[in-house]
Structures are given as structure tokens and as C-alpha cells.
């Protein structure tokens, strides 16, 4: 199809590892090429393709940055572990709809470690008191996993009031906050607890 005389321009919009072969084939066929950035897997590969251009028209685009999937991949990932399915779902919905985060919920605390390994969160919100396993056990499992060690964990609970939470209470080094009743409270807790925001 690349060699079809009715085609003047070839657009390369696939994963970067496939760019080189497709760009080279299009250039060999004498076609103008539009390729999504980055052009190659390395500087050397990009230079190789650039040197093969000759007098053909080419362009490198950044359109992929606006792809919703690519944009969502860069957003902080928040894991919510809470046996209260209503709270967990509403918190996930709120975080997703904020446009700033990607959220995942786990209702069964025994599945928290498995979900965290798969989801790779930037922050974990854990209910402190759950009948199947308490939040302290969940936090210990997450901390013991070498891939998850260091991910911030925040305990949420109805056992304290927002006023009591203001004094910086911690359990095993993890922040403890009152379970947020308002949208603005949840967003503030997440913003304050993410490493990128806390360091700013």
C-alpha cells in the first residue's frame, strides 16, 4: 500500500518501536512522511531516519500528546481501599471527574496488594477500620512490597473529626485524616498527600 501511486503522504501514528521500519519504507517509496513524536527509540535512530529524508517533505507531530489515553497515563493514580462501597465509588468518581487524577477502588482489603501491583498508584487512601482486615495490615503489606514501598499511604476514618485531624496525627508514619464528607476536602487531602504536590 505504501507504494501505491495514488498515495502522496504516509502518516505514521503507531508505537515508537515500529516507526523506523515504516518511515524507511515510506521514504524508500518516495512518499512524504508525517510521523508522531518521538521519531525514534534513540537519538541515533532518529538521526538515521532524518538523514534518509533527502528532498522529500516530512513532518514530526505532537498530536499524540492530546490523545486522552496518553494524557490520562500522566495523571497521578490514586488507589482507594475501603469496604464502604458507596464511599469508594463516590470518591473514585469525584477524582476521575476532576480531570486531575485516575482512581481505582478496592472493596475487599485482601485484594489491595494485588490491585496496587497492577494499578501502580502514586497515592493510596485506606480506610482505617474494615471488618476483613484493618488499614494498618493493608499498609504493612504495601510497604513490604519492593515495588510499592515508598508510595504514600493516607488512612481515612470516621473515628476522628476534621478538627482532630488538623494536629498532624500519624499511625506508623502514615497520615490519618477524617473521612472527607465534602468534595473539596477529598481533593485537598489528595493534593496535599501526593509527593509532587507536597514537595512544591
pLDDT of residue 200: 41
**What's the DSSP call for residue 135?**
H
Residue matched to cell numbers 473539596: 184
Per-residue pLDDT, 66 = 53
Q: Which residues contact 149 (CB under 8 A, 6 or more apart)?
A: 142, 143
Distances (CA, A) of 60 to 13, 31, 64, 180, 182: 10, 14, 11, 46, 45
pLDDT of residue 69 exceeding 60, the answer is: no
| Percentage of the residues of the chain whose pLDDT score is greater than 90 | 35
Domains 9-66 and 75-198 share a fold: yes
Q: What is the mean pLDDT of residues 134-157?
A: 93
Over residues 8-24, the mean pLDDT reads: 86
**What are 181's three cell numbers?**
464528607
| Domain 75-198 CATH assignment equals 3.40.50.2300 | yes
Q: Which of 27, 37, 190, 50 is nearest to 122 (CA)?
A: 190
Give residue limits of the domains in the chain. 9-66, 75-198
CATH architecture of 9-66: 3-Layer(aba) Sandwich (3.40)
Amino acid at each position: 500500500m505504501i507504494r501505491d501511486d495514488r498515495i502522496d503522504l504516509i502518516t505514521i501514528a503507531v508505537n515508537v518501536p515500529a516507526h523506523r521500519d515504516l518511515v524507511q519504507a515510506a521514504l524508500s517509496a518516495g512518499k512524504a512522511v508525517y510521523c508522531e513524536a518521538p521519531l525514534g527509540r534513540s537519538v541515533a535512530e532518529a538521526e538515521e531516519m532524518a538523514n534518509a529524508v533527502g528532498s522529500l517533505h516530512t513532518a514530526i507531530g505532537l498530536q499524540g500528546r492530546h490523545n486522552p489515553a496518553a494524557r490520562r497515563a500522566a495523571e497521578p493514580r490514586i488507589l482507594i481501599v475501603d469496604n464502604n462501597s458507596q464511599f469508594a465509588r463516590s470518591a473514585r468518581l469525584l477524582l476521575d471527574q476532576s480531570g486531575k487524577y485516575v482512581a481505582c477502588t478496592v472493596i475487599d482489603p485482601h485484594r489491595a496488594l494485588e490491585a496496587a501491583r497492577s494499578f501502580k498508584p502514586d497515592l493510596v487512601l485506606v480506610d482505617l477500620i474494615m471488618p476483613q482486615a484493618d488499614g494498618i495490615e493493608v499498609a504493612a503489606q504495601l510497604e513490604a512490597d519492593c515495588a510499592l514501598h515508598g508510595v504514600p499511604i493516607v488512612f481515612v476514618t470516621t473515628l476522628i473529626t476534621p478538627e482532630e485531624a488538623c494536629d498532624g496525627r500519624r499511625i506508623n508514619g502514615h497520615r490519618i485524616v477524617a473521612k472527607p464528607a465534602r468534595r473539596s476536602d477529598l481533593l485537598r487531602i489528595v493534593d496535599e498527600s501526593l509527593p509532587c504536590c507536597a514537595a512544591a
